């Protein structure tokens, strides 16, 4: 079957408040026929009905509002894939509990699983957080089936729309390959919620405790030389590179279209930056893998002193992205 005759189905799901409506609207603007909150038992027959009238780009929204149908959702998705005829992508939108709590509080809308109707107060906040945690557990099977997970914690509405367009816009899918992203981060700022694989490099000697290196970042040659001079660094790079060389083609063969590998140290400024850059370069040199590099916390400063938040920075958040072509 030709590419033009093949049907592309995007199932949009994820946490309430993580941006599902925005993603569905973005797909609609890209020419997808969108159906939101469709009960899972009728998804297959709906797609068959679309096929009779020649609709080839379809987006289906699924979330906890389908209630009793949610348990069967993951199994129902398996029946939608028809090799060579119908291509299925599952987009899962996630965000941190804190971000979801803040969004619901600002819009004053009740969570679908909230147990109270009080508009404010401590009881309502507690019920909202309980609802978020219950929803996260209920959606775990769908998250496991996802071919793409987007963490919207720090994304604006416009950034999310750009992400959706990048993955499902014109020209996408003509030569499908899994997109691989390496993210360096600091554990004290929280782990990336969209990480598929996570590695901890805090066992390496920390340049922060070397006076002349403390204010430098892992992108400088001096810090790179310090970190890579450690035998443990080379041993770690070789072992993880071998693991990823084995795993990456198998993830892609499974149908996964997006993989995030997170590498963390204490602050996300020194060791994790060096290891992330080196690991990306090593895999590209060996296998020609195209890897997107993101240093999430390289420019983030932890605020100290009276009144400071012990777990979060108030410094501007900056993404430093570089693609290895």
In this structure, are 217 and 163 located in the same domain? no
End-to-end CA distance of the chain: 31
In this structure, are 133 and 190 located in the same domain? no
Query: Within a 10 A sphere around the Cβ of 197, how many other Cβ atoms?
Result: 15
In this structure, are 72 and 153 located in the same domain? yes
Residue 174 lies inside a defined structural domain of this protein: no
**Nearest residue to 150 via CA among 3, 235, 241, 27:** 27
SS3 assignment for the chain: CCHHHCEEEEEEEECCCCCHHHHHHHHHHCCCEEEECCCHHHHHHHHHHHHHCCCCEEEEECCHHHHHHHHHHHHHHHCCCECCCEEEEEEEEECCHHHHHHHHHHHCCCCCCCCCCCCCCHHHHHHHHHHHHHHHHHCHHHHHHCCEEEECCCCCHHHHHHHHHHHHCCCCCCCCCCEEEEEEEEHHHCCCCCCCEEEECCCCCCHHHCCCCCCCCCCCHHHHHHHHCCHHHHHHHHHHHHHHHHHHHHHHHHCCCEEEEEEEECCCCCHHHHHHHHHHHHHHHHHCCCEEEEECCCCCCCCCCCCCCCCCCCCCCCCEEEEEC
Residue 173 lies inside a defined structural domain of this protein: no
In this structure, are 276 and 252 located in the same domain? yes
Query: What per-residue confidence (pLDDT) applies to 172?
Result: 55
Structure tokens, 45: 């027959």
End residue of a domain, out of 136, 168, 200: 168
Domain with 57, as residue range(s), is 3-168
In this structure, are 305 and 242 located in the same domain? yes
Query: What per-residue confidence (pLDDT) applies to 321?
Result: 38
Query: What per-residue confidence (pLDDT) applies to 106?
Result: 75
End residue of a domain, out of 168, 198, 225: 168
Q: Please name the residue that has the structure tokens 């995007």.
A: 10
Q: C-alpha 306: how far from its chain's center?
A: 34
In this structure, are 85 and 143 located in the same domain? yes
Residue 41 lies inside a defined structural domain of this protein: yes
In this structure, are 10 and 60 located in the same domain? yes
* Cβ 17 vs Cβ 104: under 8 Å: yes
For the chain (325 residues), the mean pLDDT of every run of 10, in chain order, is: 70 91 91 87 88 90 72 77 82 91 75 54 61 85 88 88 83 60 93 92 95 93 96 96 91 74 95 96 85 89 40 33 39
In this structure, are 164 and 222 located in the same domain? no
End residue of a domain, out of 108, 136, 168: 168
Buried b (16+ CB within 10 A) or exposed e, 147-157: bbbbbbbebee
In this structure, are 164 and 183 located in the same domain? no
Tell me whether residue 320 is exposed, middle or buried, using C-beta atoms within 10 angstroms of its C-beta: 0 to 12, 13 to 18, 19 or more: middle
Predicted model pTM: 0.56
- Report how many domains make up the chain: 2
Query: What per-residue confidence (pLDDT) applies to 171?
Result: 55
Residue 235 lies inside a defined structural domain of this protein: yes
Residue 307 lies inside a defined structural domain of this protein: yes
In this structure, are 147 and 206 located in the same domain? no
Residue 273 lies inside a defined structural domain of this protein: yes
Residue 281 lies inside a defined structural domain of this protein: yes
CA angle 39, 42, 48 (to 5 degrees): 140
| pLDDT single digits (tens) 3-21 | 556 789 999 999 988 999 9
Query: What per-residue confidence (pLDDT) applies to 33?
Result: 93
In this structure, are 264 and 312 located in the same domain? yes
In this structure, are 16 and 142 located in the same domain? yes
Residue 119 lies inside a defined structural domain of this protein: yes
Where residue 138 sits, what CATH number does that domain have?
Answer: 3.40.50.300
| pLDDT single digits (tens) 256-312 | 667 899 999 999 999 999 999 999 999 988 888 788 899 999 987 643 333 333 333
């Amino acid at each position: 079957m030709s590419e033009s005759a093949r049907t592309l189905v995007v199932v949009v799901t994820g946490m309430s408040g993580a941006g599902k409506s925005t993603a569905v609207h973005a797909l609609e603007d890209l020419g997808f026929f969108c159906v939101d909150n469709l009960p899972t038992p009728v998804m297959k027959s709906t797609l068959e009905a679309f096929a009779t009238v020649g609709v080839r780009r379809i987006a289906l929204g699924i979330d906890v509002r389908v209630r009793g149908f949610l348990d069967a959702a993951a199994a129902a998705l398996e029946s939608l894939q028809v090799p060579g005829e119908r291509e299925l992508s599952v987009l899962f939108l996630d965000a941190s509990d804190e971000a979801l709590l803040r969004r619901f509080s600002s819009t004053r809308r009740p969570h679908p699983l909230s147990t109270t109707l009080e508009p404010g107060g401590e009881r309502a906040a507690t019920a909202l957080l309980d609802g978020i945690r219950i929803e996260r557990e209920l959606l775990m099977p769908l998250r496991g089936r996802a071919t793409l997970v987007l963490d919207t914690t720090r994304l604006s509405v416009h950034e999310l729309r750009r992400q959706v367009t990048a993955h499902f816009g014109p020209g996408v899918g003509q030569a499908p390959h899994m997109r691989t992203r390496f993210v360096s981060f600091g554990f004290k700022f929280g782990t990336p919620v969209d990480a598929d694989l996570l590695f901890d490099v805090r066992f390496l000697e920390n340049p922060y405790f070397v006076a002349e290196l403390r204010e430098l970042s892992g992108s400088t040659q001096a810090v790179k030389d310090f970190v890579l001079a450690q035998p443990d660094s080379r041993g770690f790079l070789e072992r993880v590179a071998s693991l990823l060389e084995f795993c990456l083609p198998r993830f892609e063969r499974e149908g996964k279209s997006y993989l995030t590998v997170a590498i963390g140290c204490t602050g996300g400024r020194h060791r994790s930056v060096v290891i992330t850059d080196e690991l990306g370069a090593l895999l590209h040199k060996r296998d020609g893998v195209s890897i997107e590099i993101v240093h999430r916390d390289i420019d983030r400063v932890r605020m100290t002193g009276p009144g400071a938040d012990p777990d979060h920075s108030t410094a501007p958040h900056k993404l430093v992205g570089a693609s290895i072509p």
